[in-house]
Amino acid sequence: MKKKFTVKLLDWNTNDNKRIMPWKGETNPYKIWLSEIILQQTRVQQGLSYYNKLLKQYPTVFHLAKAPDGEVFKLWEGLGYYSRCKNLLETARMVVNERAGIFPDSYKGLLALKGVGPYTAAAIASFAYNLPHAVVDGNVFRVLSRFFGIDTPIDTTEGNKLYGNLANQLLRKTQAGTYNQAIMDFGAIVCKPQLPLCQQCNLKADCVAYNTSRTNILPKKEKRIVKKKRYLNYLVFVYGNNYYIEKRTGKDIWQNLYEFFLYETNNQVNWNELLLAGLLTNQLGIKDYNITKIYNPYTQQLTHQLLHGQFIVIALQHNPTALKGLLRVNKQALSHYAFPRLINQFLDDAFAH
């Protein structure tokens, strides 16, 4: 059954796989690494434009290594999971400074790079060097779970070990890169999460899930994601034509991106002039101001967090001491700084006219 799976999968890849992506067939480890980091937790449709944009701006690892952080984060803006961008820069500089710009050519060496886990290391190793390491991502979990009828949850230690071992047994060792690309494409095109194309599948005759009507319940997960709600109240201080912003540096969401003055609360606040007066005067010592506008809340869904963003624009009469640690940036220069999507939504509305 295992041998038949591999043969039929590669037959499908040769005869029916029409999926075109700029990094398919690529053997340059820099380009493969760049595409794989972008595609971590990102759909191909969204990641494609970022790949092209970053590769055009930084055609080699040397270009990326010497690029200013702020410039790269600005290009990454909107892609999310910004720790990937931080790791991208750190790895590029390590490869240039410690390895003369040459990427490791072994699975173990690739695994030692910042931001590179087992999946990414296997992808680079097989695509760039045709090393026999099977990739195991969401597509692979799904295809294997359905075809072999595996009930073991994919988000457990036991599941990771089981699927990893099975994936490596199925791998065509002499065509590692081709096989890995084929199974990922198959999961994206045919064996999709919802509404898989079972009638068009050349594996359906031997697929346990299809033959036992379990396609829609496999693969299984053990843990349920608990989504946390956060209430981010942004005081958008304006002094003349200048806006006060600061960089997020803590180990939290949006690290290294910019934001306005943040006042986070445990619950949603219905802001009014009286509440704002207490906050501004008592906590920040700001007395001379005008509340320009209180915007309706914006929301952004992250993997484990639902963010509520409230923006309150406050015109200042002078430059207050409480804000001396923030950057003062004129309206036109704001576009040079990388902001999270939630704040860009506000900026689009605020500067729409």
| DSSP conformation class of 342 | H
Q: pLDDT per residue over 121-176, tens digit each?
A: 999 999 999 999 999 999 999 999 999 999 999 999 999 999 999 999 999 999 99
Which two structure tokens, joined as six digits, stand for 255? 């690290």
CB 208 within 8 A of CB 35: no
- Rounded CA separation 185/24 (Å): 10
Helix (H) or strand (E) holding 258: strand 258-259
Give the torsion sign (CA, 218, 224, 228, 229).
positive
Residues classed as catalytic: 36
Q: Which of 167, 171, 169 is nearest to 179 (CA)?
A: 171
Q: What is the pLDDT of residue 245?
A: 96
Taking the CA of residue 55 as centre, how many other CA atoms within 13 Å lie in the half-sphere pointing to its CB?
19
Count the neighbouring beta carbons within 10 Å of the beta carbon of residue 124.
30
Q: What is the DSSP letter of 198?
A: G
Residues of the chain with pLDDT under 50: none
Cis, bond preceding 219 (omega within 30 deg of 0): yes
pLDDT value, residue 213? 86
Domains of the chain: 2-217 (1.10.340.30), 228-350 (3.90.79.10)
Cα separation, 212 vs 208, in Å, equals 6
| CA-wise closest residue to 219 among 209, 211, 227, 207 | 209
**In whole angstroms, what separates CA 276 from the centre of its chain?**
35
